[in-house]
A = this chain, B = another copy of it.
Amino acid sequence: MRIDSTKERQYLENVFAKLGFTDEGGKLLADTLVDADLRGISSHGIQRLAWYQRMIKEGTIQPQNHAKIVRELPGTVLVDANQNMGQLAAVLGMKKIIEKAKKTGVAIAVIRNSNHFGTAGYYARLALKAGLVGIALTNTRPLVVPTNATQAFLGSNAFAFGFPASPHPFMFDGATCVVSGGKIQVHAKNGENLPGEWAVDKKRQVVSNAAQAEDILATAAFTEGEQKGGGVLTLGGKDEVNGNYKGMGNSIVIELLTGILAQGSISADTVKGNHDFSQFLMAFDPAFFGDPATLAADATEMFNRIRHLDHVPGRKIWIPGDREYRLLAENKTKGVLIDKKTYEEMQEIGQELGVDVPD
């Protein structure tokens, strides 16, 4: 089913107000979820609401807390999310480094004591809107099995990178492993087999049954101390010979820039009840290096050349961002797609909090 995004936004703002967030905080959270749904990234849209509510009830999220700047230099910021949602701290951090990067050319922020922050791309786009290049990273629950290992340890660790171009920016945004856990959940929900080398069991054998893979991930992501086995593969797949140690390297780089720099939990330790994710943000001013319009035109020309390379018949070459901006245009008119289970959750939450649910 589809819901008009304006109605989705109103519903979310009402819910977040009832859940104890400030007006500003609630509006921002609603915006990040609506934005994800509009871009077709439904794994990070309103379907997360029930989980957010659960974390508030458990006390993992403190909706009235304010994120704060712990320390700053002309190019760096350390932000404490203060156990509230990651979105609130990440917007604070990104705004701060945008300001700094306009003076010094570049700035970075690390966020500690944080939580889920929606799509990483949201913050890279804040930098783009300010005329800058933006990068956002987060660690996650432990889902990913290092090269040759049979246990999950690394996060699916998202990486977003935005660069100005036409008709829309270059927008690379996603998990660093082969696929996100969300994509496996969708296959499980639809009773489909997994089509590629996505997940392995505790013997490092590829799992093609989506429900089995989902079980493996749920155990890896949420159980402490038990003997766990299997998980999602690093980019490069099952075998070392195809470079999966490079995928592992990329994942470890994000562990270092988030959990380690923030002195929070690494992904492997987010199962210990504290659920403290960490984030890393960066912005720099392309205008320092050349005329921004020229740089965007050069990037656009490169993308067009790639899109038109000789290719396998019947296949298309997509540039990161192409799908997302196409869906954004479509969903703004048609409304965002909501699955049945999520709509039921919206109804339950609406009833519990006395908030009208859009039809």
CB-based contact B148/A315 at 8 Å: yes
Please determine whether A256 and B163 come into contact, CB atoms closer than 8 angstroms. yes
Please measure, in the bound complex, the distance between the C-alpha atom of A237 and the C-alpha atom of B107, giving whole angstroms. Answer: 34
Determine which residue in A150, A250, A263, A298 has the highest number of CB atoms from chain B within 10 A of its CB, and name it: A250
Closest Cβ neighbor of A323 among chain B residues: B245
Task: Decide yes or no whether A261 CB sits under 8 A from chain B.
Answer: yes
Chain B binder among A27-35, A81-89, A169-177: A169-177
Contact A263:B104 (CB < 8 A) given known A178-B236, A252-B170, A310-B149: no
Per-position 1/0 for A253-290, Cβ under 8 A of B: 10110001111001010000000000000001110111
Contact partner of A196 (CB less than 8 A), chosen from B106, B241, B286, is: B241
How far, in angstroms, from A250 to B197 measured CA to CA in the complex? 20
Instruction: Report Cα–Cα, A1/B104, bound state, in Å.
Output: 50
Q: Assess A106 versus B75: contact at CB under 8 Å? Given A239-B196, A241-B195, A319-B252.
A: yes
Nearest chain B residue, comparing its CB with the CB of A250: B250
In the complex, A320 has a CB within 8 A of chain B: yes
Q: Which of B76, B179, B229, B302 contacts A255 (CB 8 A)?
A: B302
Contact call B246/A176, Cβ cutoff below 8 A: yes
Complex partner residue of A75 from B107, B110, B149, B196, CB under 8 angstroms:
B107
Give the size category of A's interface with B.
Answer: 35 or more
Q: How far is the CA of A73 from the CA of B288 in the complex (A)?
A: 8
Closest chain B residue to A76 by CB distance?
Answer: B105
Map CB proximity to B onto A153-185 as digits: 1 under 8 Å, 0 otherwise.
110000001010000001010101111000000
Interface pair A289/B262, CB less than 8 Å apart: yes
Interface contact A106-B103, CB-CB below 8 Å: no
Shortest CB–CB separation between residue A298 and chain B, in angstroms? 5
Given contacts A153-B306, A295-B263, contact A106 B76 (CB under 8 A): yes
Cβ of A249 under 8 Å from chain B? yes
Our pick among B107, B133, B198 for the contact of A106 (Cβ within 8 Å) is B107
Say yes or no for A134: interface residue by CB 8 A criterion: no
Q: Top 3 nearest A-B pairs by Cβ distance? A: A76-B105, A75-B104, A196-B241
Binding site for B on A (CB under 8 A): 71, 73-76, 78, 101, 103-108, 110, 133, 146-151, 153-154, 161, 163, 170, 172, 174, 176-179, 195-198, 202, 204, 229, 235-237, 239-243, 245-250, 252-253, 255-256, 260-263, 266, 268, 284-286, 288-290, 294-295, 298-299, 302, 305-306, 309-312, 315-320
Return 27 A-B CB contacts under 8 Å, by A number.
Answer: A74-B75, A74-B103, A75-B104, A75-B106, A76-B285, A76-B289, A108-B284, A146-B317, A148-B315, A153-B306, A154-B306, A161-B249, A163-B256, A174-B246, A176-B246, A177-B243, A178-B246, A179-B243, A195-B241, A197-B242, A202-B310, A236-B237, A245-B320, A249-B320, A260-B295, A262-B289, A263-B290
